[in-house]
């Protein structure tokens, strides 16, 4: 029998507990032993969790689960990168108890140190639910693609951002009104910073990248941009050009991992992933391209990933947290590059007067950037107009230099936007 202690009985924890109780016979078959919840912890003892707690010990301090003799496996589902979650997981691993967690923030910040403790004590540390919720992204890398040389991992890793961008695309509404509706419907947090500024996706990408390329897990390696600067005008212009804007996490061999909005051809598979779904694409040798699509959050999908980890540990399929010993993990590339030459989408708000266009084109010429197309919407002597350029293939640094120079000139209103156009990369 495997005795399980669960810390956190919220959206995910309560679902994991209910499934463990309701499907005990089926899980016992799959795990080769009974999976028994012996102790739980949450902030409020009296709250109805939707399952009986009378035969299960309730501990006020979750960190105590690490010390209990009746707990062999700790399941951490409280959240927070520091505090009790980190203390519990650290103590449990030090005590040789295996840990399953869905806590992407904790793994992105402390995964390496925790993996080292796990290695030393021989315990397993598993976190499938931390990346893309119900999609078995880490298991795909660890198991299904284990014989492959991973070239690139890219994906839609944040359901809230994908929901907002999809709604903007389908309804023509602006970012603020779609965000407000997403908050009202419970798809976005009251404080949406982690999601819309790309931090949540960066946590997941740091973990994916570590497993894919044997990198150290380091959030500060990730170049992070969110979706706040994307306007309804960008969505409409991109559509006119045959593209869809998606927030993508991209990690490629020899390239700094990044989370940023990009233009994908509207016919590509990732461009068609709409709403709150997540998707992860693996480009690998020899398999070529594999895409996994599914729900990236929610009680059922996240519990599915947590339970798969529990079954793996019960059947001794845990393995090393990042696929190789921590002292053999290398540093990620720090070169800030989009992987060579790409086309770019540049949106500027400019005064509609003679001479402005030649100022802009001379900046682009100085940076050796050639323009592929230009669109201008609106015409008014008083109000600024939006000007959209697409470039031929160039480097990210040339585009960033050009945009910085334009900002220094007195011709722009507001911040310009430059997004990579991923033509060849998209399936």
Ligand X SMILES: NC(=O)c1ccc[n+]([C@@H]2O[C@H](COP(=O)([O-])OP(=O)(O)OC[C@H]3O[C@@H](n4cnc5c(N)ncnc54)[C@H](OP(=O)(O)O)[C@@H]3O)[C@@H](O)[C@H]2O)c1
Residues engaged in binding ligand X (CB under 6 A): 8-13, 41-44, 47, 62, 77-79, 84, 102-104, 129, 133, 297-298, 302
Smallest distance, ligand X to C-beta of residue 112, A: 18
In terms of CB distance, is 87 or 148 closer to ligand X? Answer: 87
In terms of CB distance, is 13 or 416 closer to ligand X? Answer: 13
Smallest distance, ligand X to C-beta of residue 48, A: 11
Reduced to 3 states, what is the DSSP secondary structure of residue 93? Answer: helix
> Are the C-beta atoms of residues 75 and 85 closer than 8 Å to each other?
no
In terms of CB distance, is 299 or 371 closer to ligand X? Answer: 299
Q: CA Rg, the chain, in Å?
A: 24
Sign of the Cα torsion 148, 111, 246, 416 reads negative
Smallest distance, ligand X to C-beta of residue 172, A: 29
Smallest distance, ligand X to C-beta of residue 101, A: 7
CB-nearest residue to ligand X: 10
In terms of CB distance, is 127 or 345 closer to ligand X? Answer: 127
Q: Which position among 104, 139, 204, 256 bears the catalytic label?
A: 204
| 145's tokens | 């693609």
Which contacts of 351-356 are long-range, i.e. CB under 8 A and separated by 24 or more positions?
A: 351/384, 351/385, 351/411, 351/413, 352/378, 352/379, 352/380, 352/381, 352/383, 352/384, 352/385, 353/381, 356/411
Q: Is 204 a catalytic residue?
A: yes
Reduced to 3 states, what is the DSSP secondary structure of residue 97? Answer: coil
Nearest to 209 by CA among 130, 289, 153, 126: 153
Smallest distance, ligand X to C-beta of residue 121, A: 22
Q: How many helices (H) and strands (E) does the chain have?
A: 13, 16
Please tell me the number of Cα atoms within 13 Å of 352 on its side-chain side.
12
Please tell me the number of Cα atoms within 13 Å of 221 on its side-chain side.
28
In terms of CB distance, is 298 or 384 closer to ligand X? Answer: 298
Catalytic machinery residues: 204
């Amino acid at each position: 029998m495997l005795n399980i202690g669960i810390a956190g009985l919220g959206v995910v924890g309560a679902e994991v507990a209910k499934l463990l109780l309701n499907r005990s016979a089926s899980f016992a078959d799959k795990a080769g032993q009974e999976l028994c919840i012996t102790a739980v912890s949450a902030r409020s003892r009296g709250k109805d969790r939707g399952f009986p707690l009378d035969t299960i010990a309730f501990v006020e301090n979750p960190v105590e689960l690490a010390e209990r003799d009746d707990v062999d496996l700790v399941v951490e589902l409280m959240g927070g990168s520091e505090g009790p979650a980190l203390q519990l997981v650290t103590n449990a691993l030090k005590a040789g108890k295996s840990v399953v967690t869905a806590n992407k923030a904790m793994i992105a910040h402390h995964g390496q140190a925790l993996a080292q403790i796990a290695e030393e004590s021989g315990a397993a540390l598993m976190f499938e639910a931390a990346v893309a919720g119900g999609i078995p992204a880490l298991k795909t890398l660890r198991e299904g693609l284990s014989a492959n040389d991973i070239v690139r991992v890219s994906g839609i890793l944040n359901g809230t951002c994908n929901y907002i961008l999809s709604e903007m695309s389908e309804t023509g509404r602006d970012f603020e009104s779609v965000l407000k509706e997403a908050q009202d419907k419970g798809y976005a947090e009251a404080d949406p910073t982690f999601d819309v500024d790309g931090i949540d996706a960066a946590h997941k990408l740091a973990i994916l990248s570590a497993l894919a390329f044997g990198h150290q897990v380091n959030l500060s390696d990730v170049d992070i941009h969110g979706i706040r600067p994307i306007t309804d005008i960008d969505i409409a212009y991109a559509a006119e050009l045959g593209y869809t804007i998606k927030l993508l996490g991209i990690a490629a061999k020899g390239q700094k991992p990044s989370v940023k909005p990009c233009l994908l051809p509207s016919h590509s598979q990732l461009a068609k992933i709409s709403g709150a779904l997540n998707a992860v694409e693996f480009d690998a040798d020899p398999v070529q391209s594999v895409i996994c699509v599914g729900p990236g959050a929610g009680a059922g999908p996240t519990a599915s990933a947590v339970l798969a980890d529990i079954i793996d540990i019960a059947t001794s399929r845990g393995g090393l947290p990042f696929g190789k010993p921590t002292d053999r993990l290398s540093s990620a590339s720090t070169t800030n590059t989009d992987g060579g030459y790409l086309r770019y989408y540049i949106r500027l708000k400019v005064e509609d007067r003679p001479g402005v266009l030649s100022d802009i084109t001379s900046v682009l010429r100085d940076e050796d950037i050639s323009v592929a197309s230009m669109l201008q919407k609106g015409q008014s002597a008083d109000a600024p107009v939006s000007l959209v350029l697409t470039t031929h293939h160039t480097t990210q640094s040339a585009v960033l230099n050009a945009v910085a120079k334009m900002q220094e000139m007195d011709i722009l209103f507001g911040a310009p936007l430059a997004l990579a156009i991923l033509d060849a990369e998209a399936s």
